[in-house]
């Protein structure tokens, strides 16, 4: 099992959210009539967590498995974080490079931002 990547100085300066929103986990779901929920169904498998988000496995309506970063809007995000998120989305939408993971979709919903990206199962190397 790999160790999680080191937290940046910015992440270390913020407390981890150890209670409350599961950011798309089994305790929280996208609103059933939201644009995100009409295109994707979150699975119960959590792929990772961060300071403000969780990454969940999801399935598109077409049956494609994707990784969804669910970023909670529970009040811990500062305006500069929101601005950085929108800038990241703009950059990811504008680049097409084999070494940069694509952004399939982005949703700005009532309780969460959702970043939908390709999912590849990790296979152990021999």
Q: Which CATH class is domain 21-118?
A: alpha beta
For residues 81-103, one letter each, b for 16 or more C-beta atoms within 10 angstroms of the residue's C-beta and e for the rest, the string is eeeebeeeeeebeeeeeeeeeeb
For the chain, domain boundaries: 21-118
CA distances from 115 to 36, 93, 99, 123 (A): 10, 11, 18, 24
pLDDT (tens digit per residue) in 17-44: 333 334 444 445 677 778 999 999 999 9
Q: Give pLDDT tens digits for 49-103.
A: 988 899 999 999 999 999 999 999 987 889 999 999 999 999 999 999 999 999 9
6 against 61, higher pLDDT: 61
Q: Does the pTM exceed 0.75?
A: no
Question: In terms of Cα–Cα distance, which of 91, 125, 114, 126 is closest to 31?
Answer: 114
Q: Could you give the count of Cα atoms lying within 13 Å of 110 in the half-sphere of its Cβ?
A: 9
pLDDT in tens, 79-92: 999 999 999 999 99
- pLDDT at position 31 is 74
């Amino acid at each position: 099992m790999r160790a999680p990547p080191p937290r940046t100085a910015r992440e270390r300066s913020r407390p981890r959210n150890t209670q409350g929103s599961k950011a798309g986990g089994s305790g929280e779901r996208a609103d059933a009539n939201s644009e995100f929920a009409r295109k994707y169904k979150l699975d119960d498998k959590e792929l990772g967590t961060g300071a403000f988000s969780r990454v969940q496995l999801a399935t598109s309506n077409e049956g494609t498995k994707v990784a969804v970063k669910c970023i909670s809007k529970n009040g811990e995000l500062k305006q500069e974080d929101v601005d950085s998120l929108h800038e990241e989305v703009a950059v990811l939408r504008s680049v097409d490079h084999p070494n940069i993971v694509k952004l399939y979709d982005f949703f700005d919903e009532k309780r969460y931002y959702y970043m939908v990206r390709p999912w590849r199962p990790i296979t152990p190397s021999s």
